[in-house]
């Protein structure tokens, strides 16, 4: 409460939350990515394809049901004890029958997808449905209270434990079982850590009114979650069904590196946007300023990262994954171009949720889902590169609709919004042109030396471009984050 009455402390809390959220995702994704690299060397694309389909089943429950209930909690200014307990009860009323249904239908999933061994993997991973139900309200409690340090520690420990188990059993030649154990150990240990360390514990102190309110709000978020799930996973589903698990594994690898960069650079900042924006719902001028600054900061980091990743895709894949994954290069090159758009799109979602417009987001994601399904049905017969192109073009062409929703609610003009994103994108494209010229001149062979030279010179070019062509007041946004963190330490 005191924090909300003290603007300096509130801003410092946001800055501290951003730092811890960034560190959480940075270390978690580094560990996850290293584990992926080791396992990719030990296992085949086919096995990763089987796991990617099985994980979609458990991810469906989290994205559609649990996250919608958690969002209904986080967007509140002051959730009550009854709200948290009601959310916990709702999550687990879904989890218990959910895991039973999935277990029973596992053979059906295998017959429909035509992937041998899928039923066993689905049954092995369905316990994650229960662990996610037991932990999602705890995560919401930490997120609303901006205690991202606890989330960071929990993520690093659980991912490390799961990775150790997965690598050990992969080394022992246990194939897809190693991947299943990695997922299960990660999720179970994460749940146990949350229950042990967080002061909030569920009780029977819930209310029908609270449950009714949560359901009323979360039904719109659930629809949005369902369509988001379709958006994010329909490509894998169509590729697995029409082209097989090996093609799915290759496509998964191409997206995996892109998703890692996206999570590290953007999700860390976007995760704090909903609780932060929710506190500003009655202060529209400040809300507008924070939103535009968030977009500028995020795209300034993600545009050069993703466009640079597209440029270096061949070299990185060859060095990190090996020659057997080289077919994933075109996928990575194409999907990378949509990465920075996805990163700033999180803020548009948070604006709609914070200003109680979940129905807008639901309709928007429904449009995304329908367009995805239609595009993938048309292009999947032409292979994974065509699917990647369809995914990227759909993202670029429909993104302005998401922006329109956010800037309409905040009374921001298109000119103001475009001013935040134009120079980072232009600087990133010019950076690639510069690197092409450097590589043509130096003629270095593909390897770590070439990658290192390109990263250093590309980063230097982009930094100079930013310092020269960015207004001083916008550059000050970066320094203000450090100053706010100093205020937190001084307090």
The answer on 375 and 255 residing in a single domain is yes
The answer on 254 and 139 residing in a single domain is no
> Once rounded to an integer, what is the mean pLDDT over residues 168-186?
93
Half-sphere exposure for 444 (CA within 13 Å, toward CB)? 16
Provide the angle, in degrees to the nearest 10, between the axes of the packed helices 414-442 and 284-311: 20
The answer on 140 and 8 residing in a single domain is yes
The answer on 440 and 475 residing in a single domain is yes
Q: What is the predicted pLDDT for the residue at 450?
A: 94
> Which residues, including other chains, have CB under 8 Å from residue 46's CB and lie 6 or more apart?
245, 246, 249
pLDDT digits (tens, 9 = 90+) for 254-307: 888 787 777 766 555 556 676 778 778 888 888 998 899 889 988 998 899 999
The answer as to whether 227 is a domain residue is no
The answer on 243 and 200 residing in a single domain is no
The answer as to whether 211 is a domain residue is no
Please give the residue range of the domain that contains residue 24.
1-206
pLDDT band at 2 (very low <50, low <70, confident <90, very high): very low
**What is the pTM (predicted TM-score) of this model?**
0.74
Number of domains making up the chain: 2
Q: What is the predicted pLDDT for the residue at 244?
A: 87
The answer on 243 and 109 residing in a single domain is no
The answer as to whether 43 is a domain residue is yes
Among 148, 171, 206, give the residue marking a domain's end: 206
The answer on 405 and 356 residing in a single domain is yes
The answer to whether residue 155 scores a pLDDT higher than 90 is no
Give the chain's mean pLDDT.
Answer: 85
C-alpha distances out from residue 249 to 59, 256, 273, 325, Å: 17, 10, 33, 9
Please state, in angstroms and rounded to a whole number, the distance separating the CA atoms of residues 160 and 49.
22
The answer to whether residue 472 scores a pLDDT higher than 70 is yes
The answer to whether residue 3 scores a pLDDT higher than 80 is no
Is residue 154 a contact partner of residue 84, using CB atoms and an 8 Å limit?
no
The answer as to whether 223 is a domain residue is no
pLDDT digits (tens, 9 = 90+) for 227-249: 778 777 888 888 888 888 888 88
Alpha-carbon 325 to chain mean position: 23
The answer on 62 and 145 residing in a single domain is yes
The answer on 242 and 161 residing in a single domain is no
> Once rounded to an integer, what is the mean pLDDT over residues 410-433?
95
SS3 string, 250-318, reads: HHHHHHHHHHHHHHHHHHHHHHCHHHHHHCCCCCHHHHHHHHHHHHHHHHHHHHHHHHHHHHCHHHHHH
Please state, in angstroms and rounded to a whole number, the distance separating the CA atoms of residues 410 and 351.
8
> Once rounded to an integer, what is the mean pLDDT over residues 464-477?
82
> Once rounded to an integer, what is the mean pLDDT over residues 70-80?
84
Is residue 27 a contact partner of residue 275, using CB atoms and an 8 Å limit?
no
The answer on 274 and 333 residing in a single domain is yes
Q: By mean pLDDT, which of 4-13, 309-318, 472-481 is the weakest?
A: 4-13
The answer as to whether 79 is a domain residue is yes
Among 187, 206, 225, give the residue marking a domain's end: 206
The answer as to whether 217 is a domain residue is no
Q: By mean pLDDT, which of 90-99, 226-235, 405-414, 465-474 is the weakest?
A: 226-235
The answer as to whether 89 is a domain residue is yes
> Once rounded to an integer, what is the mean pLDDT over residues 319-323?
88
Please state, in angstroms and rounded to a whole number, the distance separating the CA atoms of residues 245 and 243.
7
The answer on 142 and 272 residing in a single domain is no
The answer on 160 and 294 residing in a single domain is no
In percent, the amount of the chain with pLDDT more than 90 equals: 40
Of residues 354 and 107, more confidence is placed in: 107
Q: What is the predicted pLDDT for the residue at 237?
A: 86
Q: By mean pLDDT, which of 33-47, 171-185, 376-390 is the weakest?
A: 33-47
Please state, in angstroms and rounded to a whole number, the distance separating the CA atoms of residues 426 and 99.
48
The answer as to whether 220 is a domain residue is no
The answer to whether residue 385 scores a pLDDT higher than 80 is yes
């Amino acid at each position: 409460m005191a924090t909300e009455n003290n603007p300096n402390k509130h801003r410092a809390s946001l800055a501290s939350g951003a730092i811890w959220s960034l560190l959480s995702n940075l270390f978690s994704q580094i560990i996850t990515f290293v584990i992926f690299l080791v396992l990719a060397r030990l296992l085949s694309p086919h096995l990763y394809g089987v796991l990617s389909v099985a994980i979609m089943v458990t991810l469906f429950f989290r994205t559609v049901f649990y996250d919608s209930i958690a969002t209904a909690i986080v967007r509140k200014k002051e959730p009550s004890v009854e709200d948290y307990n009601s959310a916990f009860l709702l999550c687990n009323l879904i989890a218990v029958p959910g895991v039973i249904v999935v277990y029973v239908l596992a053979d059906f999933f295998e017959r429909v997808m035509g992937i041998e061994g899928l039923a066993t993997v689905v049954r092995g991973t369905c316990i994650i449905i229960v662990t996610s139900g037991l932990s999602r309200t705890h995560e919401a409690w930490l997120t609303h209270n901006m205690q991202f340090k606890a989330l960071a520690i929990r993520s690093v420990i659980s991912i490390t434990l799961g990775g150790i188990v997965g690598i050990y059993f992969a080394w022992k030649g246990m194939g897809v079982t190693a991947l299943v154990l990695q997922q299960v150990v990660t999720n179970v240990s994460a749940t146990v850590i949350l229950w042990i360390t967080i002061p909030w514990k569920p009780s029977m102190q819930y209310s029908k009114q609270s449950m009714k309110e949560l359901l009323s709000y979360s039904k719109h978020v659930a629809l949005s979650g369902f369509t988001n799930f379709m958006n994010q996973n329909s490509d894998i589903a169509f590729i697995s069904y029409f082209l097989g698990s090996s093609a799915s594994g290759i496509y998964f690898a191409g997206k995996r590196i892109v998703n890692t960069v996206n999570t590290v650079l953007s999700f860390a900042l976007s995760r704090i946007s909903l609780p932060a924006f929710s506190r500003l719902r009655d202060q529209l001028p400040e809300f507008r300023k924070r939103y535009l600054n968030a977009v500028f900061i995020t795209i300034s980091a993600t545009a050069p990262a993703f466009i640079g990743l597209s440029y270096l895709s061949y070299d990185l894949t060859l060095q990190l994954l090996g020659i057997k994954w080289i077919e994933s290069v075109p996928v990575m090159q194409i999907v990378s171009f949509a990465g920075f758009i996805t990163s700033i799109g999180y803020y548009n979602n948070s604006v709609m949720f914070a200003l109680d417009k979940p129905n807008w987001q639901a309709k928007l994601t429904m449009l995304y889902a329908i367009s995805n399904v239609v595009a993938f049905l048309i292009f999947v017969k032409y292979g994974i590169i065509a699917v990647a192109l369809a995914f990227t073009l759909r993202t670029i062409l429909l993104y302005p609709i998401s922006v329109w929703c956010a800037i309409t609610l905040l009374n921001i003009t298109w000119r103001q919004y475009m001013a935040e994103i134009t120079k980072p994108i232009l600087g990133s494209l010019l950076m690639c042109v510069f690197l092409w010229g450097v590589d043509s001149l130096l003629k270095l062979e593909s390897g770590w030396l070439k990658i290192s030279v390109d990263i250093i010179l590309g980063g230097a070019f982009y930094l100079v471009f930013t310092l020269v062509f960015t207004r001083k007041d916008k550059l000050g946004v970066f320094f203000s984050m450090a100053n706010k963190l100093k205020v937190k330490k001084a307090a």
